[in-house]
Homo-oligomer: A and B are copies of this chain.
Amino acid sequence: MSIFEERESAIRAYCRVYPVVFDKAANARQTDENGKEYIDFFAGAGVLNFGHNNQRMTKAVVDYIQSNGVTHSLDMHTTAKRQFMQHFTDTILKPRNMPHKMQFTGPTGTNAVEAAMKLARRVTGRQDVVAFSHGFHGMTLGALSATANQYFRNAAGVPLNHVKHFAFGCDKTCPGCDLGCGMNSIDQLTAIYQDSSSGIAPPAAFLLETIQAEGGVKVASKEWLQALEKLAKEVGALFIVDDIQVGVGRTGSFFSFDDLGIDPDIICLAKGIGGMGTPMAMNLVKPELDEHWSPGEHTGTFRGQDISFVAGDQALTYFDNDELMKEVKANGQQMAEALAPLAQRYPDVNVTGKGMILGLDVGNGDRAKAIVNQCFEAGLLIASCGTGGRVVKLIPPLTTPQSDLKTGLDILVEVTDRVMQMERAA
């Protein structure tokens, strides 16, 4: 019996999907201890936007450590943090005229979301936050209240209050409606908040992902997002975008909403922002909101991770020019084109997404599981998401070489065809 079977908690999950022991990794490939290589379309659940052991980053990090740079600094000032903050300000914030302050929380996405919810409640003096069906925001009790999936919610063991869920993303013509009910969710929300007898009081904030990644790669329409932001302003609520999985270049631009004409009050970042899987979480907060914080009100031991500042600073070099983002758009195009025939061949199959995050909805979880397993056998790491796990999610590193991208897509298409056709044959 391995030490994993002997001593690791029953809660372990991905190791059941990929039952090998990984040893090495570089850019879009991982190698197991037997030397078998896998193309990685999973990227550590969307963390490794710049690939495993990105060479710009490994070099900088090794240099930093070898020169005795401060590695752990809480919220003290360090030269590494200064470098990261200056770079982020110059490359990301200033070109967008964003006045936002940077708040470093404990280095997990859930912690950033908790901080955002606290601040929204503080600023408005209200308690309820609105989140959306299929949204995923984390596992700690505050963020979990906003996460929609009942499997995760059931683990809480206590009622998850002070968050109300509504349908996600519907626009006037309802193509993206996840409820299939034909309603217009913005009109509904507007009606609810204009009516003092609706039973539902105005919220502290609307909290959402522009693309629900774990929720099944559901893409909100530009119109819906703009209308929601407008509604938030009208009812005096904050507009918070959780860009943890789809920010940092994933959609072909630094923020997932750069082309959507919205101006969030708070933006939650984590995953890719820390560079090479080195943990960081950061909220961008409008200054007039940020000033409601008192020093140290929301702390966290690991909120000053200088190795992550160093690696994250290297990640920002990918945004100093538009080369990588151009590639992401091209790659995204290529990925969509590769999958399109599947949607044509099988009525149950749908493809959604933007940039280098795509969802291949195969209709049910059993099929998706079969596809994931057979891809793994064929040397492709990929995972499923969405209700019942019915959506195969493609989130390769943004830096994936053309050859790996093509090979991975070929495997996926071939495996999907095989799974769909075996079912027909049966």
Q: Footprint of B on A, CB under 8 Å?
A: 2-4, 6-16, 18-26, 30, 33, 44-48, 52-53, 58, 61-62, 65-79, 82, 85-86, 89, 93, 101-104, 106-111, 114, 117-118, 120-122, 127, 131-135, 138-143, 145, 147-159, 161-165, 167, 178-184, 187-188, 190-192, 195-201, 204, 215-216, 270-271, 276-279, 283, 285, 290-291, 293-302, 305, 307, 386-388
Contact with A69, one of B24, B110, B188 (Cβ below 8 angstroms) = B24
Output the least CB separation between A173 and chain B (Å).
12
Q: Is the pair B75, A12 in contact by a Cβ cutoff of 8 Å?
A: yes
Q: 9 nearest interchain CB pairs?
A: A72-B277, A121-B157, A165-B199, A183-B183, A141-B142, A148-B199, A140-B140, A13-B296, A9-B103
* Known pairs A52-B70, A183-B187 / 6 extra A-B pairs, C-beta < 8 Å: A10-B290, A14-B74, A44-B72, A133-B198, A148-B197, A159-B161
Specify which chain B residues have a CB less than 8 angstroms from the CB of A301 in the assembled complex: 44-47, 108-109, 270-271
Output the least CB separation between A373 and chain B (Å).
15
Q: Is the pair B184, A182 in contact by a Cβ cutoff of 8 Å?
A: yes
Cα separation A402 to B236 with both chains bound (whole Å): 52
Specify which chain B residues have a CB less than 8 angstroms from the CB of A293 in the assembled complex: 9-11
Q: Is the pair B161, A158 in contact by a Cβ cutoff of 8 Å?
A: yes
Specify which chain B residues have a CB less than 8 angstroms from the CB of A24 in the assembled complex: 67-70
Contact with A158, one of B69, B127, B188, B270 (Cβ below 8 angstroms) = B127
Q: A24-B69, A47-B301, A66-B62 are in contact. Are A295 and B10 (CB under 8 A)?
A: yes
Cα separation A164 to B128 with both chains bound (whole Å): 13
Contact with A155, one of B26, B118, B197, B300 (Cβ below 8 angstroms) = B118
A99: nearest chain-B partner, CB-CB: B7
Q: Is the pair B181, A184 in contact by a Cβ cutoff of 8 Å?
A: yes
Q: A8-B85, A72-B47, A293-B11 are in contact. Are A111 and B133 (CB under 8 A)?
A: no
Specify which chain B residues have a CB less than 8 angstroms from the CB of A142 in the assembled complex: 140-142, 156
Specify which chain B residues have a CB less than 8 angstroms from the CB of A191 in the assembled complex: 167, 179-181
